[in-house]
């Protein structure tokens, strides 16, 4: 959606990379290693001779913890409660590689969330919309109503700092 709205043509293909074996001391180190693993896996599969290659990954952090994708509803509840009424940072790393340029960017958006309403939280958990989301967090969905303050770009929190990518893309691909 972010690429489409930015007017960047793309073909979406991907080979999976197993993030479960990553050992990292900080959220930024984790997201960089995950993105690098995806980059290396997809570079081997697709190269970047004819098309540019773009990979990205996102991690959520609150109270000093890396909040991964929840495996079940109980874990999702715990993860979301750690974000309720606190600062939550969403860190996205992207690697863009074309014949002409390689760009690596790590961006962070930090949200100050009000306390989550318990019934609203339970409804969100029952909806299943949290499945597959880093930190079970949807700033464009459930969490949106609880945002008190934002520092950074919403696109970073949605998985790709489109503002940074678009600036480089337009320099490499002038009209």
Q: What is the CATH number of the domain that holds 55?
A: 3.90.950.10
The count of domains in the chain is: 1
- Please indicate, yes or no, if residue 174 is contained in any of the structural domains: no
* pLDDT band, very low/low/confident/very high, at 148 (cuts 50, 70, 90): very high
For the question of residue 16 being annotated catalytic, the response is no
pLDDT digits (tens, 9 = 90+) for 55-99: 999 999 998 889 988 999 999 999 999 999 999 999 999 999 988
Whose tokens are 């969100």? That residue is 124
pLDDT digits (tens, 9 = 90+) for 103-144: 999 999 999 999 999 999 999 999 999 998 889 988 888 999
Percent of all residues in the chain with a pLDDT value above 90, rounded to a whole number? 61
Q: Is 136 left (phi over 0), alpha (psi -120 to 50) or beta?
A: left
Domain that holds residue 78: 2-169
Residue from 175, 173, 171, 174 nearest 51 by CA: 173
Is the pLDDT reported for residue 169 higher than 80?
no
* pLDDT band, very low/low/confident/very high, at 31 (cuts 50, 70, 90): very high
- Please indicate, yes or no, if residue 49 is contained in any of the structural domains: yes
97 pairs with which residues across the strands?
53, 102
- Please indicate, yes or no, if residue 30 is contained in any of the structural domains: yes
pLDDT average, residue stretch 138-164: 92
- Please indicate, yes or no, if residue 175 is contained in any of the structural domains: no
Sort 38 into a burial class: Cβ within 10 Å, 0-12 / 13-18 / 19+.
Answer: buried
Is the pLDDT reported for residue 49 higher than 80?
no
- Please indicate, yes or no, if residue 115 is contained in any of the structural domains: yes
Annotated catalytic residue, options 20, 50, 57, 78: 57
Percent of all residues in the chain with a pLDDT value above 70, rounded to a whole number? 98
Measured N-to-C along each axis, helices 118-127 and 73-83 cross at an angle, to the nearest 10 degrees, of: 140
- pTM, whole model, 2 decimals? 0.85
How high is the pLDDT of residue 121? 97
How high is the pLDDT of residue 175? 53
* pLDDT band, very low/low/confident/very high, at 50 (cuts 50, 70, 90): confident
């Amino acid at each position: 959606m972010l690429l489409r709205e930015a007017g960047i043509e793309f073909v979406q293909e991907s080979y999976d990379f197993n993030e479960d074996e990553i050992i990292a001391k900080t959220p930024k180190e984790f997201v960089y290693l995950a993105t690098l693993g995806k980059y290396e896996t997809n570079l081997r599969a697709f190269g970047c001779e004819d098309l540019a290659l773009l990979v990205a990954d996102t991690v959520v952090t609150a109270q000093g913890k890396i909040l991964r994708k929840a495996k079940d509803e109980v874990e999702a509840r715990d993860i979301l409660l750690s974000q309720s009424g606190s600062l939550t940072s969403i860190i996205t790393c992207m690697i863009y590689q074309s014949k002409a340029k390689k760009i690596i960017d790590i961006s962070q958006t930090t949200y100050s969330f009000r306390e989550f309403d318990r019934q609203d939280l339970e409804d969100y958990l029952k909806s299943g919309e949290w499945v597959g989301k880093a930190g079970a967090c949807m700033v464009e969905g459930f969490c949106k109503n609880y945002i008190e303050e934002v520092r950074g770009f919403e696109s970073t929190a949605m998985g790709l700092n489109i503002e940074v990518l678009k600036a480089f893309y337009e320099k490499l691909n002038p009209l």
